[in-house]
Structure formats: C-alpha cells, structure tokens
Structure 1
Amino acid sequence: MRPARRRTLRARLWRFRRSPLRRVSDVVEAWLLLTAWVVGVLGGAIAGVLAAVEADQGFEEERSGRREVVAVLLENARDTVPGHADVSRASATVQWTASDGRTHTGRTTVAAHTHAGTQVRVWTNARGDLVSQPPAESDAVMRSSFVGVGVAAVAAGVVWGCARTARALLNRRRMRQWALEWERVDIRRGGRTA
C-alpha cells in the first residue's frame, strides 16, 4: 500500500484509534456509520432479493391461475365503436364455456374489424371470469427484478435516513457540550471571550 493511501486510510479511521481528543460520541458515531453501511448494503440486498422472489412467486401464481379459452364474438366489433371512429381495437361481447361446463358472457377487447361469430382467445380465472392476459415469463422476471431493486433502494434509504438522524442528534449533543466547555473556560478567565 502506498504511503498516501495509508495516510488517507488512517485519517478516515481516526475515530477508532486512541486519542486524547476522541470523545465517546466520536466512537458511537464511528460504530453507527459502520453498522449503517453494513446493514444498508447487506440488509438492502437481502430485502431486495426476498422481495424479488416473492414477486416472482406471485406472478407465477397469477400465470398458473389463468387459462386461455376460445370464445365466440356475439356482435360486430365495429358496431360497438361510437360514431364508427377509426380505431384498431374495440370492446365487444363474447361468450365462452368454462371448464365446469357453464356458459359465460362478458366484454373483451378485440380487433375492430372482427365480425360476429368469430372465435377469439380470451383469458379466464379459476371461476371462469374474464381476466387480462398474464404477463409472459420474461415480463414477470423483469417486473420482479424492478420490485427487488426498488425494495433494496427503499431499505437502504431508510437505514441511511436513520443514520443521518442519529448523526444529527450526536452533532447537536457535541455542540451543546462544546458550548458548555467554552462557558467553563470563560468563567475561569474571569470574563467573556466574545
């Protein structure tokens, strides 16, 4: 290690060395910062990984609980567009048979040029109700990654905020002690120093 780096490292670790100028609050602050870094980095990473795994399991349950079924369009999709505006998608009524044999009717979005009687694919839940298409596996992995990164950032931010608050309280305490020490020095000298 080069001498310049060694001096920099020694300067940064002054709170851990013995010194007549070191106060108890300096030692507390040093341990507080060290703990905050460890908890912020490791705790944030662990929280992020756990959140990502939990989100991925939720997306997997969502994908496994939905089924794609064939439905029949009951009306022309173009007829449902108000004023026959030029759109590519329209909401239309469809009918499908659930896995339990019951017939269901609902509304879904289809291509605007689709005619009545056309078979379209829709997604249903375990009860046979219409639901949106579940995210693809790659989308679910990306979403769970975003959740994990977000949770890690929030966890690290909370730790950082708590450490900053504790440092501010320690600084306030040190300023009060310093003011008291100046008063003692001033009284010993018999007058005001300012």
Structure 2
Amino acid sequence: MQKLSIITLFLIVLTLSSCSSIELFKERTEIKPYKEYTSFVIVNKEIGSSSFKDELIDAKVANELEVKMKELGLTYDSKSPDLVIRYSSNEDPRQKEVYNNQYPMWGMRVWDPWMFDPRFMGRQNMVSTKNYELLQLIVDFIDPKQDKMLMTITAVSEASGTKAKNKNLIKSAEKVVGAYKVHMKEN
C-alpha cells in the first residue's frame, strides 16, 4: 500500500513539474574557461538597468541569478570580478488558435444514438484564440580580463499570465545558472 502511494506521489510531482517547459540554448562561446572563476558581478544591478517591462520581475531575476551563483561558491564583487554577468529579455505577446472538440468523449459520435446536441447547433468551426507571451531570458557570461564572451545562454518559455511569467522567469534564471555550472565542469 505504501509503495503504491509513493508511486502515485511520484507521478503527480512528475506531471506538475512537466507542465511548464523551459528550453535552453547555449550560444556564442568565444573562449573556453581557462580558470576557475571565484567572483562575479551583475552589470544590470550595478548600473540600475531594467531589462523587463516590470521592475519587480527584473529585481526577482537579478536576485535569483545572484543567489544561485553564490550557491555555486562564487562571491559577489563589484570592484574586480572574475566574471561579468549581463542579462536582457525579450517579451513577445502572441496568440495561438485553440481547437475545441465539438464531440466530447465520443470522438466523431459515430455510435451515439442521440446525434442531436443543442450546445453545438450551428457551430461548425469551434476555434478560439488564446493570448500568451513568449519570454526569453538572455544571459551573457563575460570574462573581463580577456574582454570576450565566455558564453550566452537563452532560456525560452511561454506564459499566459503574470503569475506564470514570474514563475517561469525565476525557473529560467535557475536553469541558466545550472547550465553555466555544467559548462564549467565540461571544460
């Protein structure tokens, strides 16, 4: 019985965690890491530049990047950092078509003896549009000593509301730092 509840709990967690997909793209690698970086600075935070329309979201992303980099063992140093982090965003409002099923649970209602359904009378094309926002968090990791790009990581996700947007951008920042960690261990 306990084994069944553990499996059920695992499936629920797996389902909930897979609802929001965030794709990462590693781009523009000019140099390979030639040393272990020990300190960093976030340029946007130092100069007061906001990359998002909403300043609260911008502050949350900057904070998440800082916290996750500190968790990797790096220290925040605004005077002489080993690594410079700069981020920007692209918030693109979009629409997509949603096709509603005119024949719920019966497929094409082939075997349904009651073919008449007043809910769908005269509705041949049941298409609606859904508004959403395509979010891109673009993070540049720059080596200030060589003045070259260590790498650029872009996290792409979709959000249909402010709450989902906050959640996706914080997860995106977390995944970007995770990708940075993997990149540093590969080389």
- Which structure is richer in relative contact order (CA contacts within 8 A, separation 6 or more)? 2
| Higher strand content, 1 or 2 | 2
TM-score, normalized by length of structure 1?
0.29
If the length of structure 2 is used for normalisation, what is the TM-score? 0.30
Asked which structure has the greater CA Rg, the reply is 1
